[in-house]
């Protein structure tokens, strides 16, 4: 069987995620998601931080996307917890200031939701490791805006891009979600990693989610 050739940057990132085990596919022993639901797929972008070579490729790609849109100085904001290392890598690479947003105040001291120094009315971007339907980003976006920071963009390594609710959630937040790879990119290169039988099952599963089944 000939290997699928990598044709673009999104497939390159998808290939990296598959290669180092960030994308887990198991139709025999399903994964339990945060919601409690069972799923044959589970994506863990936190694992990427332990692979320097692959991590560098991903960070370089994300900085390229950010630099293409933002020419002036901005604040790089990371969401607790998975967004913090990625925002650190990005802010260091771009030589930009960074803050991070807590899920809830720590309960002592100043009780701040946003840690770090920033000027009000500054432009910020939210960095996260991944997004499913985008709903979990609402708290972070609201926290930035309540602190008089402008935010129009979220940047993630991986976006499921299969849940019908995603577009509604993003429209509600008035933000654009920028991503390096999605399930559609995974499907393009996954034949290099899984059997033909599993590939068919994966395609059917993704299709069922997109159709709200």
| Mean pLDDT, rounded, for 19-46 | 88
State the pLDDT at residue 3: 87
The predicted-structure confidence for 60-89, as pLDDT tens digits, reads as follows 999 999 999 999 999 999 999 999 999 999
Q: What CA–CA distance (Å, rounded) separates 180 from 188?
A: 14
Q: Are 206 and 190 in contact (CB under 8 A)?
A: no
Q: What share of the chain is helix, strand, coil (3-state, %, to 5)?
A: 45, 20, 35
Q: What CA–CA distance (Å, rounded) separates 59 from 38?
A: 31
- What confidence category does residue 1 fall into, taking pLDDT thresholds of 50, 70 and 90? low
**Structural domains present in the chain:** 9-210 (3.40.50.2020)
Residue 198 clears pLDDT 90, i.e. is over it: yes
Q: What CA–CA distance (Å, rounded) separates 144 from 187?
A: 35
| Mean pLDDT, rounded, for 86-93 | 98
% of the chain exceeding 90 in pLDDT: 86
């Amino acid at each position: 069987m000939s290997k699928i050739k990598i044709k673009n940057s999104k497939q390159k990132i998808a290939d990296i995620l598959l290669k180092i085990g960030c994308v887990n596919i198991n139709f025999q022993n399903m994964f339990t998601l945060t919601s409690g639901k069972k799923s044959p797929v589970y994506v863990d972008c936190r694992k990427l931080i332990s692979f320097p070579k692959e991590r560098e490729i991903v960070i370089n790609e994300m900085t390229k996307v950010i630099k293409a849109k933002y020419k002036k100085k901005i604040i790089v904001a990371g969401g607790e917890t998975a967004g913090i290392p990625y925002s650190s890598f990005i802010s260091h690479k771009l030589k930009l200031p960074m803050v991070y947003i807590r899920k809830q105040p720590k309960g002592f001291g100043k009780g701040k939701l946003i840690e770090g120094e920033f000027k009000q009315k500054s432009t910020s971007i939210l960095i996260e490791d991944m997004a499913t339907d985008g709903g979990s980003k609402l708290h972070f976006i609201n926290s930035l805006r309540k602190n008089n920071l402008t935010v129009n963009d979220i940047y993630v390594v991986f976006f499921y891009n299969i849940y019908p609710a995603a577009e509604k959630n993003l429209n509600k937040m008035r933000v654009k979600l920028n991503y390096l790879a999605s399930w559609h990119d995974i499907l393009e290169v996954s034949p290099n990693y899984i059997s033909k039988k599993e590939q068919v099952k994966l395609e059917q599963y993704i299709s069922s989610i997109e159709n709200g089944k």
